[in-house]
Amino acid sequence: MIEVVLVIASIIAAVGTVIAVSRLNAIISLGVVGIVVALIRLLRAPDLSLTQLLIEVLTVVLLVLVFYRIPRGSVSPSPNRL
């Protein structure tokens, strides 16, 4: 039963990542997906789950730090541009 709730939470967070308006919301939603996946694995493989949780937290922190250094109006160049 708990796995079903976690899978539904993961799906909702993944959709939230895709439809996020701001960068910070997308990063937080992506972090929620990773944490929920780590919680799902906690039931079967606690060592793998703790490792994934640590990496997920570090990734979210690094993404927040990197995205705060990027100017708000910047866009990546399109691949068709030469």
Sign, CA dihedral 27-33-39-42, equals negative
**Percent of the chain whose pLDDT exceeds 70:** 88
pLDDT tens digits, one per residue of 47-70: 999 999 999 999 999 998 988 888
3-class secondary structure, 19: coil
List the one residue out of 9, 15, 25, 18 whose CA is nearest residue 60: 25
- What 8-state DSSP symbol labels residue 49? H
The SS3 assignment for 43 reads: coil
Give SS3 for 46: helix
C-alpha R_g of the chain:
16
Q: What integer is the mean pLDDT of 38-46?
A: 88
The pLDDT of residue 22: 87
Tell me which of 49 and 76 has the higher pLDDT: 49
